[in-house]
Amino acid sequence: MSNNNNVSSEAEEFKVGANEAFKAIELDSHNAIYYANRAFAHLKLEEYGSAIQDASMAIQLNPNYSKGYYRRGAAYLAMGKFKEALKDFQQVKKICPNDPDAARKLKECEKAVTKLKFEEAISLPDSERRSVAESIDFHTIEVEPQYSGAKIEGDVVTLDFVKKMMDEFKNQKFLHKRYAYQIVLQMRQILQALPSLVDINVPNGNHFTVCGDVHGQFYDLLNIFELNGLPSEENPYLFNGDFVDRGSFSLEVILTLFAFKCMSPSAIHLARGNHESKSMNKIYGFEGEVRSKLSETFVDLFAEVFCYLPLAHVINEKVFVVHGGLFSVDGVKLSDIRAIDRFCEPPEEGLMCELLWSDPQPLPGRGPSKRGVGLSFGGDVTKRFLQDNNLDLVIRSHEVKDEGYEIDHDGKLITVFSAPNYCDQMGNKGAFIRFEAPDMKPNIVTFSAVPHPDIKPMAYASNFLRMFS
């Protein structure tokens, strides 16, 4: 077991690096090296849109500067834009023909683009695509006599089953694929019946807990339950997206959350994050993990079921909860969110994209996204959205915060992030928010990372992404 509580924050180092590069650019705005250095810091902070902007400026200032193309190509790869990345790495190889590192990365990128083109060639139009779920009958799957793990008796997922399953996961044992199928297929039925915006009612005298990104950190999820109790009708939760990817126990996380939802649909609510998508899962580890621990069919099944996850929740008609943030236009009403056809992979623009990807900014108005997808929005945007919809507060996740949370926009927006010591290197705390009805004032609880087996984050991530980590 490895305990990561003493790991210092690498994020601070990269923030310092970005600030130093910013100061250097202020002194000399025509030096390509300074822009490439700041692009590197943006890459490490996962601000891929900003990295592309700076790398492009470095290239503009010096078209033969290989690191400009290298940094931009790495940012494109991290965003899943393989074809754009390929062009940049081809340019790196042209400038540095004898660089073995450049040659290796170009080869990996070529493989990714070839695979992508093949998948595009054999893919069917949406109208002709058959549901993976409808082709699976878990009842026909035999459970071997020697299997001694958790079992679902009949069609009902019970608390005893979920507890035993979590205990097996804690000891690095797997759930039989029959029961994994049963949970995911039952989850699909539950989610299919939900609207894109779910209204949650918390009766007076009761409480409700909102958690942010978990990102495959199963042992930290167990710690949340240790600190705050297991999900139940008396102790309900909302997990606000990004359950999977990066952490190498994503399958254990998603099966646990899904199993609780099957056990008691009102005990736990789940929202879609930007990482509940094929493009992210292909790069950041969930697809590789599912393929390794279960099968290719499960990869397709999870991709299908993720498309059924709701996009946002409103608690007691006052608290709006969404993974990413708000919109590029004013006047968006809750009815507009309810009307979104969410049963698809996230588009690259529009309301659904912005719900999953956007971030708050300190300045008023709107700005380009540092991620390269969605946008940044100011406190005035938050204020108008709340007023237009008679709401009091926005809760969102999507960003690692040193204390596990951050309060912005004059107290009208709170970011909550529940993956402490993110990726075993950020040194941050995790947090969750408890609300008590009827006053619905947010009570924020922070916690530190706990030990986990010595399996590194990103262990199942794509080869080319690990090359840049």
Q: Are 275 and 240 in contact, with CB atoms under 8 Å apart? A: no
323 is known as an active-site residue: no
How buried is 341 (Cβ within 10 angstroms: 0-12 exposed, 13-18 middle, 19+ buried)? exposed
Q: Which of 215, 275, 323, 409 is catalytic?
A: 275
Q: Which residues, other chains included, contact 8 with Cβ-Cβ below 8 Å and sequence gap of 6+? A: 427
What residue has token string 């997206």? 241
Q: Residue 455 phi/psi, 5° resolution?
A: -115, 120
Closest Cα partner for 9 from 439, 460, 424? 424
Helix, strand or coil, per DSSP, at residue 30? coil
**Cα(307)–Cα(284) distance, rounded to whole angstroms?**
18
What dihedral do alpha carbons 84, 86, 91, 93 form, nearest 10°?
Answer: 160
**Cα(365)–Cα(434) distance, rounded to whole angstroms?**
30
Q: Are 17 and 40 in contact, with CB atoms under 8 Å apart? A: yes
Could you give the maximum distance between any two Cα atoms of the chain, in Å?
72
Q: How far is CA 292 from the centre of its chain?
A: 20
Q: Which residues, other chains included, contact 220 with Cβ-Cβ below 8 Å and sequence gap of 6+? A: 214, 418, 419, 420, 430, 447, 449, 450, 452
Closest Cα partner for 307 from 350, 278, 332, 282? 278
**Cα(312)–Cα(76) distance, rounded to whole angstroms?**
28
Q: Which residues, other chains included, contact 52 with Cβ-Cβ below 8 Å and sequence gap of 6+? A: 39, 72, 75, 76, 372
**Cα(251)–Cα(168) distance, rounded to whole angstroms?**
13
Helix, strand or coil, per DSSP, at residue 7? coil
Annotated catalytic residues are: 275
